Amino acid sequence: MSDSTSTPRPAATPERVAAPAAATKLRLGALTALVVGSMIGGGIFSLPQNMAVSADAGAVLIGWAITAVGMLTLAFVFQSLALRKPELDGGVYAYAKAGFGDYMGFGSAWGYWISAWLGNVGYFVLLFSTLGYFFPVFGEGNTPISIVCSSVLLWSLHFLVLRGIKEAAYVNLITTVAKIVPLCLFIILCAFAFRSGTFSADFWGQLNPKLGSVTNQVRNMMLVTVWVFIGIEGASIFSARAEHRSDVGKATVIGFVGVLLLLVLVNILSLGVMTQPQLAALQNPSMAGVLERVVGHWGAILISVGLVVSLAGALLSWVLLCAEIIFSAARDHTMPNFLRKENAKHVPANALWLTNGMVQIFLVITLFSKGTYLSLIYLATSMILLPYFWSAAYAFLIAARGETYDTAGGERNNERSKDLVVALIAVVYAVWLIYAGGLKYVLLSALLYAPGVILFARAKREVGLPVFTTVEKFVFAAVLLGALIAAFGLYKGFLSL
């Protein structure tokens, strides 16, 4: 929860590390740990299968190279904005609002919130898909018994959070160990089992016509690479708490490179243990199936148990964090006032009810649409692309205007030019991601964005302002048209979740 007098928590990032006390000054090691903790979530445990569905080894390497450049520029964008616009402390949506108007700001907050709770739905599916390895009745996490058990867990967490029970430090410690130990063992064991012949057998995926060209393979894997890096925007939030401001940039780069190396190693080593078709056929968490191939049944148990513990801890914090996103937006009148209501335990009760109600609806939808973990993370990722785009565009805008730059000094001019180039690359990368997601996810995103106008209109009327400006009317018309096409597509069956 954030306002102008408190340091905001990064919104909608997996397994968020609790913010330090206000008086605490963070050193490089602590800042780096925050970066790493923000980005490593449940996604890495399913990475081998998620990537193999779309691409083979050669395209995977190209995709990671593009991701490395693109996500690093986004990291620098968030770092720069945090330093140059410290007054915009309402989250990522504040950049869109400051640069492009109220409706774009609301859209970013709305899209970010939807991405967050859709991520929770994906976590529930992944959790029971993992349990499905031991108990087949849970299947891939979208069977009737899985949905019932997910619902029971969801509302149990809901009422725990309403009572003021939040993630404690020891839960963070347990879940962190549960993640890191299996990942390190996986990398070490798979490095010994790696076979170059397996890795290069069909390097460009030409033997599998379903994959398509290398360009299509790279394009189709992009949403997965963004999903595993969601949280990179949170690093700059703690810049005001750093012992040395220069450490923020260092921590961002060190943390990013470390997580990138971890992700690439898990992905590449898996392709040297099993072929692309074999990986694509695995049930998630696919790391369990890969390690089982290397060391036997105990390897699958190790990965599965580690992931279950990790997800159980993460869900407790995510249930509250999702609600805090729209709670924070309501505090600056981007969302309606009713979402600002807190109970006696200082929990944003109305925001929590709305959030978990949406999670429940989509859990039921996964039952009837047979939505899998992969389809859910594609949709969740597509919803965060516009907030990323608007943030990058705002950074480009202030650099182009010279806003907050002292143009009298040569060093400042060089800094402005560097920021301009970085922001431009980030904008191009964000546009590429929207293209890579494809028309299907653009339309489905529009379908989820459109209903938000009800809350936007209410928020504007509460402060006595017109709902839309002239430009915003055209923007909403485009969103509404996309939503109508998506609804028709779902009805006719040429679109699906």
Proportion of the chain above pLDDT 90, given as a percent: 50
Higher pLDDT, 317 or 333: 333
First-to-last alpha carbon distance for the chain, in angstroms, is: 32
Average pLDDT over residues 163-170: 59
Q: Shortest CA distance to 73 belongs to which of 249, 259, 264? A: 249
Mean pLDDT for 206-224 is 91
Backbone angles phi, psi at 30, to 5 degrees: -65, -40
Is the confidence at residue 488, as pLDDT, over 90? yes
Long-range CB contacts for residues 114-117, cutoff 8 Å, separation at least 24: 114/358, 114/380, 114/383, 114/448, 115/12, 115/230, 115/380, 115/381, 115/383, 115/384, 115/387, 116/11, 116/12, 116/318, 116/321, 116/322, 116/325, 116/380, 117/322, 117/355, 117/356, 117/358, 117/359, 117/362
More reliable by pLDDT, 149 or 89: 149
> Does residue 381 have a pLDDT over 80?
yes
CA 69 to CA 63: how far, in whole Å? Answer: 10
Predicted pLDDT at 233: 66
* Bridge partners (DSSP) listed for residue 242: 26
* Average confidence (pLDDT) over 438-459: 94
3 state DSSP class of 26: strand
User: 422-431, pLDDT tens digit by residue?
Assistant: 999 999 999 9
Which pLDDT band holds residue 22 (cuts at 50, 70, 90)?
A: very low
How far is Cα 126 from Cα 131, in angstroms, rounded to an integer? 9
Banded pLDDT at 240 (limits 50, 70, 90): low
Average pLDDT over residues 366-389: 84
Amino acid 429: pLDDT? 95
CA proximity to 419, closest of 438, 402, 437: 402
The answer, yes or no, to whether residue 15 has pLDDT greater than 60, is: no
Tokens found for residue 389: 């785009």
Q: Residue type at 439?
A: L
Count Cα atoms within 13 angstroms, Cβ side, for 334.
29
- pLDDT, residue 38, reads 63
Least confident of 101-110, 251-260, 466-475: 251-260
Please tell me the least confidently modeled range out of 238-242, 300-304, 469-473: 238-242
Pick one of 2.30.110.10, 3.40.50.300, 1.20.1740.10, 1.10.3720.10 as the CATH number of 28-90+112-384+399-413: 1.20.1740.10
Report phi then psi at 26, rounded to 5: -90, 130
Helix, strand, coil abundance in the chain, percent, nearest 5? 75, 0, 25
Can the peptide bond before residue 451 be classed as cis, meaning omega within 30 degrees of 0?
A: no
The closest of 117, 77, 104 to 379, measured between CA atoms, is 117
What is the residue extent of each domain of the chain?
28-90+112-384+399-413
